[in-house]
Chain A
Amino acid sequence: GDSVTQMEGPVTLSEEAFLTINCTYTATGYPSLFWYVQYPGEGLQLLLKATKADDKGSNKGFEATYRKETTSFHLEKGSVQVSDSAVYFCALGHTGARKGGSEKLVFGKGTKLTVNP
C-alpha cells in the first residue's frame, strides 16, 4: 500500500538557519503530494502541494519539488523564523482520474520543528 516516510525529529534550529525536512513516498500511480503544518493547539493547514512530477509547491518561503525519479518531496526553507515552530507532515493523496484532490490522504509521522531566537 501507499506510504510516506519523513525525517523524524525533533529538529531544533536557530533563527535564519536553513531547513530541510526529508520526505519520500511509495505509491502506485501518480499521487498528489502535500505538506501540512500543525501549529501548537491547532488543526492541520495546507502549506503547499504539487500534483505532478517536477512541480514545485511554494508558500511562506517554503518550497518542495515533486521528484518522481527519487520518489521524494523534501521541504526546504532558506531562513527559518521562530514563528515557523510547528509540526510538519508530508502526505500523499490519490485522486484517480481527478487532479488536485486529496481524498484518502496518507500521512507521514510528522516532524516537530523548534526555532530558537
Chain B
Amino acid sequence: DADVTQTPRNRITKTGKRIMLECSQTKGHDRMYWYRQDPGLGLRLIYYSFDVKDINKGEISDGYSVSRQAQAKFSLSLESAIPNQTALYFCATSAENTEAFFGQGTRLTVV
C-alpha cells in the first residue's frame, strides 16, 4: 500500500460544483500539504498543516479550503469549481527531519 493515498485519482466536474479531494497517509507524520501542478509552473502550495489544529494558507489558497480530520487525513475542497482550477493536485506529508512524501496525484478537470 502507498504511504500517501489520494482519492479520486481522476475527476471531471462541472463549473460551479463543489468537490472534495481526499488524502490519507500511513507515515505517522504530523505535517501535510496540498500542492497543485500546472504545466510550466511547477508545484505551488495551496494549504499546509503542521498538526490537526494548525492550518495555514499557502501562496494560492483563494478558491480552496481544507480540513484536517485527523493526523492522517487532510482533505482539499473546491467550494465552487472553475475551469482554471483544472490541474494535477498533490498531497504530501513530512515530519521534522524528513523529506516530503507525495501521493500519486489527482487529475482534476473542470468543464
Partner-B contacts on A (CB < 8 A): 4, 34, 36, 41-46, 49, 89, 93, 95, 98-110
Contact A100 B97 (CB under 8 A): yes
Query: Contacting chain A: which of B36-44, B61-69, B78-86?
Result: B36-44
Chain B residues with CB under 8 Å of A103's CB are 31, 48, 50, 94
Instruction: State in angstroms the CA–CA spacing of A68 and B72 once bound together.
Output: 36
Chain A residues with CB under 8 Å of B101's CB are 46
Interface residue ranges of B89-111 to A (CB < 8 Å): 90, 92, 94-105
Contact B105 A43 (CB under 8 A): yes
- Give the most central of A4, A34, A46: most B CB within 10 Å: A46
The 9 closest A-B pairs by CB, nearest first: A43-B102, A100-B97, A109-B42, A107-B42, A46-B99, A107-B43, A44-B102, A43-B104, A102-B100
Residue from the list B4, B48, B95 in contact with A104, Cβ < 8 A: B48
- Minimum CB distance partner of A103 in chain B: B31
- Evaluate whether A105 and B95 lie within 8 angstroms (CB atoms) in the complex, with A43-B4, A43-B105, A44-B90 already known: no
Instruction: State in angstroms the CA–CA spacing of A89 and B44 once bound together.
Output: 12
Chain A residues with CB under 8 Å of B103's CB are 43
Chain B nearest CB, measured from A33 CB (Å): 11
Chain A nearest CB, measured from B49 CB (Å): 10
Chain A nearest CB, measured from B28 CB (Å): 15
Instruction: State in angstroms the CA–CA spacing of A75 and B10 once bound together.
Output: 32
Interface residue ranges of B1-56 to A (CB < 8 Å): 4, 31, 33, 35, 40-45, 48, 50
Instruction: State in angstroms the CA–CA spacing of A45 and B105 once bound together.
Output: 12
- Evaluate whether A89 and B94 lie within 8 angstroms (CB atoms) in the complex, with A44-B102, A102-B100 already known: no
